[in-house]
Amino acid sequence: MPDWIAENAFFPFITGLLFTGILGAFAFMLQSRSLAIVASLVCVLSFGLIFVERYIITDKEKVVSRLYAVANAVEFNRHEEVLTYMKADSLAYKSAKVEMPRYDFRRCSITGIKSVQVNENTIPKTATMTFVVFVDVNAPSFGHDGFGRREVTVSLEQQDDESWQIIGYSHRDPRSGARL
């Protein structure tokens, strides 16, 4: 099944309802019972798309959800919780363990997702997400106290229990220009 159906079925749903209306109008005008049955089936399938969208969670949606949870933990300075979202033997874990205590966050929110790519051809599955985060942070070791934006790229790996763990991350000023 295409992921787009499970992630956003709004347009197929609206299209299905439009076809239901058109078929229903023709069925009424022509007094056609078979056309009315087809219209009913299209209507049921349209509502079925909403069911599919709500109850099937794709890997892409799991990755995005995981990173929103990380952003929430960062915002409230729950450093140990942030580390639980990372693979313990990864360089990301070691870096975050050293880096996180140097910051006192007052706000951390994901403001724009640039890309989410899930690679299903690797064992285990991997994913990369690039997004922009808005922070209000006190970082005395860097002489910064205030607001800022960072473009963050996170690499994740799917674990045996189907959860996603961070295995790498980097961040930079989004105004610093394009990476070559």
Per-residue pLDDT tens over the stretch 152-179: 999 999 998 988 999 999 888 877 765 5
Q: Which domain holds residue 25?
A: 3-55
Residue that is last in its domain, among 15, 37, 55: 55
Report if residue 180 sits inside a domain.
Answer: no
Residue of 170, 93, 90 whose CA lies nearest to 82: 93
Q: How confident is the model at residue 7 (pLDDT cuts 50, 70, 90)?
A: low
| Residues linked to residue 151 through DSSP beta bridges, in sequence order | 132, 172
Report if residue 83 sits inside a domain.
Answer: yes
Whether residues 64 and 149 share a domain: the answer is: yes
Residue that is last in its domain, among 18, 39, 55: 55
Whether residues 87 and 161 share a domain: the answer is: yes
Whether residues 129 and 158 share a domain: the answer is: yes
pLDDT of residue 6: 52
Report if residue 81 sits inside a domain.
Answer: yes
The average confidence (pLDDT) of the chain is 86
Cα gap 112→133, rounded to integer Å: 7
Residue 48, pLDDT above cutoff 70? yes
Cα gap 165→86, rounded to integer Å: 5
pLDDT of residue 143: 83
Full-model pTM: 0.74
Residue that is last in its domain, among 38, 55, 72: 55
Tally of domains in the chain: 2
Report if residue 85 sits inside a domain.
Answer: yes
Report if residue 177 sits inside a domain.
Answer: no
Whether residues 28 and 100 share a domain: the answer is: no
Write phi, then psi, for 127 (nearest 5 degrees).
-150, 155
Whether residues 29 and 79 share a domain: the answer is: no
| Contacts for 70-76: CB closer than 8 Å, 24+ residues apart | 70/166, 71/108, 71/109, 71/110, 71/133, 72/108, 74/100, 74/105, 74/108, 75/105, 75/106, 75/107, 75/108, 75/109, 76/105
